[in-house]
Structure 1
């Protein structure tokens, strides 16, 4: 699926494409619709950066099975 958001919308909302991707990722992560890994990927940043932003916003971090397996395999 592809979603096209007009540049005018971004301009009127005073938000960049990257900022919008981040906000969508945060919302979907908070609603537990996507994992931490998927959210950070969608936001086009590494998990540590994404976790810092969540921490700055005082959003609790919950890990799914996929996230834990990723963390374990990177040790």
Structure 2
């Protein structure tokens, strides 16, 4: 489903459509509704750029103990640990 935002609403935000999309993507990411990868794909930016935008807003990445343990397991399987 695509959502159409009326031009007057976009104009009222004083943001470009790209800026508004970024704000929506960040909001959905912080609410854990979409992943950072999905946000990057939607916005057409790479992960470093997306994380830079999070940093500009004083936000952190969604990364918990389970993510850390999964990364450790992957590194062990790859022989990197």
TM-score of the pair, normalised by structure 1 = 0.75
Shift of 1:27: 0.4
Q: Which one has the largest radius of gyration?
A: 2
Match of 2:3 in 1: 3
Match of 1:60 in 2: 60
Structure 2's unaligned 5+ residue stretches are 76-81
Structure 1's unaligned 5+ residue stretches are none
Count of equivalent residues: 67
TM-score of the pair, normalised by structure 2 = 0.70
Greater than 6 Å deviation, 4+ residue runs: none
Shift of 1:47: 1.0
Distance in 2 (CA, whole Å) between partners of 1:21 and 1:32 is 16
Distance in 2 (CA, whole Å) between partners of 1:28 and 1:12 is 21
Distance in 2 (CA, whole Å) between partners of 1:45 and 1:19 is 13
Name the structure, 1 or 2, with higher relative contact order (CA <8 Å, separation 6+). Answer: 1
27-36 or 3-12: which moved more? 3-12
